[in-house]
Amino acid sequence: MVETGEDRDPDDAERIASSHRPVKDGWQRTIEDTAAMAANREDKGFQTLTVPAGDTAPEPPHAGEDDRWGISFVVPGNKADRLAEFHRTCEFEDVGVYQAAGNGQVFLVVELVDPEDSVAVFLAGHYEMRHAPDLVRTATEEGVMFVHAQTLDGTHLASVRHDDPYDFFPDPDEFLAYET
């Protein structure tokens, strides 16, 4: 979420400056891990698609124009058509969530697997924990989590349900501590 003008907290500049290197390093490790996971699936005969998101955001129910909620990944244009095609033709029965959190940041990879068609899609992203408390509360209360993929202009590409929100938020209290 981009903050400008009056929305900007006076401490944002300091927070951004101090977190730049850890974020860059964490994102680089996430990309490397995603490539390794995809290579492992390819070695097993899977078609893979890796999608390093242009942006990733926790999206609580009241955030948008509809009731959609979950983790949203903004998919680069060069990956959008292939992701949309896989979503139309595949049954993503397995959803794996891999993440690391620290210094107020979450780096994650969501793996969508269709074992029958041997397809695996890897969505990689990161976001600030301070944007997640409302989503954490909703997901843990509902006992379900959603993953959404869209283009920068908001075109919906895919949505997948995951039945264990604790895979995304293993320690909900850590996220809720960022509540304002």
pLDDT at 99 over 70: yes
- pLDDT at position 168: 96
Q: Which amino acid is at 11?
A: D
- pLDDT at position 110: 98
Which one has a higher pLDDT value, 64 or 173? Answer: 173
CA atoms within 13 A on the CB side of 43: 6
- pLDDT at position 11: 54
Does 81 map to a domain?
yes
Does 128 map to a domain?
yes
- pLDDT at position 64: 65
Does 161 map to a domain?
yes
pTM of the model: 0.86
Average pLDDT, the chain: 89
Q: How far is CA 126 from CA 45, 65, 92, 179, in A?
A: 28, 23, 22, 19
Strand partners, 111: 96, 122
Does 1 map to a domain?
no
Question: For the chain, how long is the longest CA-to-CA vector?
Answer: 52
Give me the sign of the Cα torsion angle 153, 37, 47, 59: negative
Question: Total structural domains in the chain?
Answer: 1
Which one has a higher pLDDT value, 23 or 28? Answer: 28
Domain enclosing residue 67, as ranges: 11-176
Does 2 map to a domain?
no
Residue pLDDT, tens place only, 116-152: 999 999 999 999 999 999 999 999 999 999 999 999 9
Does 5 map to a domain?
no
Does 35 map to a domain?
yes
- pLDDT at position 65: 64
* Distance from C-alpha of 38 to C-alpha of 116, rounded to nearest angstrom: 17
Does 4 map to a domain?
no
What is the DSSP annotation of 123-139?
EEEEEEGGG-HHHHHHH
